[in-house]
């Protein structure tokens, strides 16, 4: 699955799976008990093991700005590491599922979120509800902007 995901998304870092949340999600405080899912979390750890940055997202559409993450990592003053070579074990051929959510699938999905949340925000009476919907709108807009950058670096013929 890791190889199929890497081939589809060109992810330059390893990712983990924790289906029941026991190995990583719960210890990180990132397990959503109600939905039984691992909430996205970014944790930056310094060489001494101390946590220098943490952002726990509400769901997969919740996208932090790059700047706070980069500022925390750059403040460590460590030399840059080279990008690791793609992980490719011998004899394993990745086969992404035909039902896999492809990069192109995200465009209409997040455009719909952007449109719907904007429309809802104009109808909200309660200020807290409006703020929540506008937060979701900003996340979808941010995701679309990041996707445009990613898409420019990974044209459709290379996806």
Question: What average pLDDT does the chain have?
Answer: 83
Under 8 Å CB-to-CB from 32, ≥6 apart: which residues? Answer: 38, 39
- The DSSP line for the chain is -HHHHHHHH--SS-----TTSTTTHHHHT-EETTTTEE--EEEEE-TTS-EEEEEE-SSTT----HHHHHHHHHTTTPPPPPPPPPP--TT------TTS--HHHHHHHHHHHHHHHHHHHTT--SHHHHHHHHHHHHHHHHHHHHHHHHHHHS-GGG-
Beta bridge partners of 37: 32
Q: How confident is the model at residue 40 (pLDDT cuts 50, 70, 90)?
A: confident
Tell me which of 3.40.30.10, 3.20.20.70, 3.40.50.12780, 3.20.20.140 is the CATH number of domain 1-77: 3.40.30.10
pLDDT at 158: 53
Show the CA angle centred on residue 140, arms to residues 139 and 145, nearest 5°: 95
| pLDDT tens per residue across span 82-95 | 877 776 777 777 77
Which tokens in the block code for residue 137? 């709108």
| Strand pairing category for 31-32 and 37-38 | antiparallel
pLDDT at 47: 95
Under 8 Å CB-to-CB from 34, ≥6 apart: which residues? Answer: none
pLDDT at 157: 58
**33 with 46: CB under 8 angstroms?**
no
Q: Hey, where are the domains in the chain?
A: 1-77, 101-159
């Amino acid at each position: 699955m890791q190889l199929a995901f890497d081939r589809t998304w060109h992810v330059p870092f390893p990712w983990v799976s924790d289906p029941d949340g026991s190995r990583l999600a719960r210890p990180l405080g990132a397990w959503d008990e109600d939905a039984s899912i691992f909430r996205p979390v970014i944790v930056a750890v310094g060489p001494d093991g101390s946590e220098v940055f943490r952002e726990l997202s509400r769901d997969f559409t919740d996208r932090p700005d790059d700047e706070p993450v980069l500022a925390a990592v750059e403040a460590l003053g460590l030399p840059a590491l080279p990008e690791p070579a793609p992980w490719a074990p011998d004899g394993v051929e990745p086969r992404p599922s035909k039902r896999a959510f492809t990069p192109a699938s995200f465009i209409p999905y997040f455009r719909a979120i952007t449109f719907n949340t904007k429309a809802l925000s104009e109808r909200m009476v309660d200020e807290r509800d409006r703020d929540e919907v506008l937060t979701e709108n900003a996340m979808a807009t941010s995701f679309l902007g990041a996707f445009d950058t990613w898409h420019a670096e990974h044209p459709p013929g290379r996806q």
